[in-house]
Amino acid sequence: MDSILSSKESTCPSEILETDISGLNLSHTWNLEDKMLEEMPDVKSSFTELENSEAETNNSLEPDARASSSSCEQETSSRQAANKGKKKKKPISEVLEDRMNVHVEKFLKFEREMEEKFLHIEKEKLELEREKVNLLKQLLNK
């Protein structure tokens, strides 16, 4: 989403298409629409009328389009000014990697502690075995 909003092609956020946001490529559906219009001539004439009325509306709104363009430029510049003061967000991959590293470090620390405890227990077992051997020797000597 951030890449779409900051791209050079999108100078005005209000002009961003839903397909740009969702990342969908709908070009394959256009072929289906063309086939449907060929099979249903009455629908095609309705679409043609709609397109003609849209063209007339757009032609009558041309002076407003220039004003809209300047408002988009103002919107873009104000958004850029607001973003200058903000702390830049890390990409999700970096955040995930950082969190993974934290958990890996915790796991490795825990593993070292367990290994140290295991070695300590083994050392105690050896000492007890020596004591046992010494006690058995004393019993044999008596």
Cα 25 vs. chain centroid, distance in angstroms? 19
Provide the pLDDT for residue 13. 56
CA separation for the pair 127, 92 (Å, rounded): 53
List C-alpha distances in Å: 55 to 4, 14, 58, 111: 28, 20, 5, 70
**Tokens 């002076």 sit at which residue?**
63
Provide the pLDDT for residue 104. 97
**Phi and psi torsions of 9, nearest 5°:** -70, -30
Per-residue pLDDT of the chain (142 residues; tens, 9 = 90+): 556 556 545 556 555 555 455 555 555 555 666 666 666 666 566 666 767 766 666 666 555 554 555 666 666 666 776 666 667 888 899 999 999 999 999 999 999 999 999 999 999 999 999 999 999 999 999 8
CA separation for the pair 20, 3 (Å, rounded): 10
Sequence-ordered alpha helix ranges (H) in 1-142: 2-6, 18-22, 27-39, 41-60, 62-84, 92-141
Secondary structure (3-state) at 120:
helix
